[in-house]
Structure 1
Amino acid sequence: MAESKRQSIVGKVATPKVGPTKDVIDGDSILYKAVGARIKITCAPYENVLEGTLFTTCNVTNAIAINTAPAPPNPSALLASQPGDYHIIPFAHILSFELIGMGERVSGSGPGFDGALPSISKVDMDAIKSREEQTIREMKKRDAQKGKGVSKEAQEIFDAISRTLPTRWADTKIVVNDYVIVSPPYTIDNLQAAPGGERTLAQTCKILEAHFQRKKTAGNRAPVATPIAPRKGG
């Protein structure tokens, strides 16, 4: 009886209603009950087709996760030991899906998360939010390290100084340790130091001297000739 019911489910195609105003996928939906099963899913906007194991559906993030990694050659291998190639797909991008095979589940369990193998743990939303905030801070910091409307050479000088001293941009000027200003064209003659910034000024001078010396040495280096293989046949 169970086998005939399973076969009756496999192969059925369901096209969920999608769009920004659709209801969340709840415990009675086909996708929720298919967690752990093999599915083939068609996604907007280019009708890409993914086939794999439905890992989870989430009505908090309004997305599903599907593992498209091929199953290991040993059929007796535990599902938890299988490789993972996960794709996150928003509900609104799901055009259609096809249930092509039932997955491994805990014996006697009902549909959904509780019987899925490998088991699905509760998502720590606080940890995710903390990681998101940390990533945003790092992105803002990296963006602040990129000069706006400056040359490649100016950015190279900024990067060289910032590896040793705290450095920030102020329009097109480089501010070092809040004591020294390096103005365009960013040579040693364009340094200005505030009172008390003598040490920072000396360090900045050394960094600029080393930077320009490296550039000069690299420019004077003879190009390496690439040998040409002899032509066949003389």
Structure 2
Amino acid sequence: MADNKRNSIAGKIATPNLKVGGGSNKDGIDADSNLSKAVGSRIKITCAPNNNVLEGTLFTACNLTNAIAINTAPAPPNPSAPLSSQPGDYHIIPFAHILSFEIVGSGERVAESTPGFNGSLPSISKVDLAALQAREEQTIREMKKKDAQKGKGVSKEAQELFDAISRTLPTRWADTQIVVSDSVLIQAPYTLDNIRAPADKAQAENHVRKVVEHYYQRKKGASSGGTARAPVAMPIAPRKGG
């Protein structure tokens, strides 16, 4: 019984030449319905939880996310202007939030096109899922790399030193130790006396020492108000009587 009611609702939504009228969504819209056939039509929907009413062009209906996208931007002032030229004001609405709907116009479509995405205006391109997955994986890698740059259980000052070194040298955390160029180790409390490296990495150690020393000198200068300025010579007034 419930399936029959859902199928009936889906049919009402999907038919492009549907007569103007309303439909109830008490049982929810079936994700397998042909709602996509109404893409490009002008619709009016009432949404939960506050009975908000939206009217606009049905941009898409996604059976993967069980949601629709509706463009509620007003039509362009010039009636002859194509719908694709109008600015977008899009709303994403889950199927489950649609309380009622009404198709109020056929909308703009490609001449003699079949119902659905192929004839909708503006046209909808196929989503490149492989590109989206690659983008997602790249974002995850970047987030993991960024997280690895944050020390666990270290002081704010230690993190600041790490960030300063990492601007010019490959730097990573090994527990609470700073590892620079995979050869130089800086241990807490991260002073010049706590820098260690193998004997054959003396050149790398000296370079890191200079970087750390420069960092502390700049920090000391900033905390003391910066480098002291040279005194300005004051002109001497001429003596009276020559």
Task: Provide TM-score, normalisation by structure 2.
Answer: 0.70
SS in 1 for 2:31: coil
| Pairwise CA distance, 1:95 | 4.0
Q: Is the 8 A contact 1:37 1:104 kept in 2?
A: yes
SS in 2 for 1:197: helix
Of 41, 65, 69, which aligns to 1:65? 69
Of 136, 143, 162, which aligns to 2:147? 143
Q: Is the 8 A contact 2:18 2:103 kept in 1?
A: no
Q: Which has the larger radius of gyration?
A: 2
2:22 matched residue in structure 1:
12
Alpha-carbon distance in structure 1 between the residues aligned to 2:199 and 2:49: 60
2:9 matched residue in structure 1:
none
Amino acid at match of 2:177: K
1:220 matched residue in structure 2:
224
| Pairwise CA distance, 1:178 | 1.0
Of 31, 54, 58, which aligns to 2:58? 54
1:201 equivalenced with 2:205 (yes/no): yes
Label 1:160 to 1:56 Cα distance change in 2 as closer, same or farther (>3 A). Answer: same
Of 75, 80, 88, which aligns to 1:76? 80
Q: Is the 8 A contact 2:39 2:58 kept in 1?
A: yes
| Pairwise CA distance, 1:91 | 4.3
Alpha-carbon distance in structure 2 between the residues aligned to 1:213 and 1:50: 62
Alpha-carbon distance in structure 1 between the residues aligned to 2:139 and 2:202: 36
| Pairwise CA distance, 1:149 | 2.1
Label 1:47 to 1:133 Cα distance change in 2 as closer, same or farther (>3 A). Answer: farther
| Pairwise CA distance, 1:62 | 3.8
Q: Is the 8 A contact 1:47 1:95 kept in 2?
A: no
| Pairwise CA distance, 1:179 | 0.6
Label 1:179 to 1:71 Cα distance change in 2 as closer, same or farther (>3 A). Answer: farther
Of 130, 134, 157, which aligns to 1:130? 134
Label 1:82 to 1:213 Cα distance change in 2 as closer, same or farther (>3 A). Answer: farther
1:112 matched residue in structure 2:
116
| Pairwise CA distance, 1:194 | 2.6
- Please report the RMSD computed on the Cα atoms of aligned residues, expressed in angstroms: 3.2
Alpha-carbon distance in structure 1 between the residues aligned to 2:132 and 2:84: 23
- Structure 1 unaligned runs (5+)? 223-234
1:1-40 matched pairs, under 5 angstroms: 8-9=19-20, 12-15=22-25, 17-18=27-28, 23-27=30-34, 29=35, 32-39=36-43
- Quick one: percent identity of the two aligned structures? 63
Alpha-carbon distance in structure 2 between the residues aligned to 1:128 and 1:75: 37
Amino acid at match of 1:15: N
The aligned length equals 210
- Structure 2 unaligned runs (5+)? 1-15, 227-242
Alpha-carbon distance in structure 2 between the residues aligned to 1:48 and 1:186: 59
| Pairwise CA distance, 1:69 | 4.7
SS in 2 for 1:83: coil
Q: Deviations over 1:79-111 (max 9, x none)?
A: 22333454545545x343534643321233343
| Pairwise CA distance, 1:131 | 1.2
Q: Deviations over 1:16-49 (max 9, x none)?
A: 745xxx852432x3xx233223445566778777
Task: Provide TM-score, normalisation by structure 1.
Answer: 0.72
Label 1:104 to 1:158 Cα distance change in 2 as closer, same or farther (>3 A). Answer: same
Amino acid at match of 1:155: Q
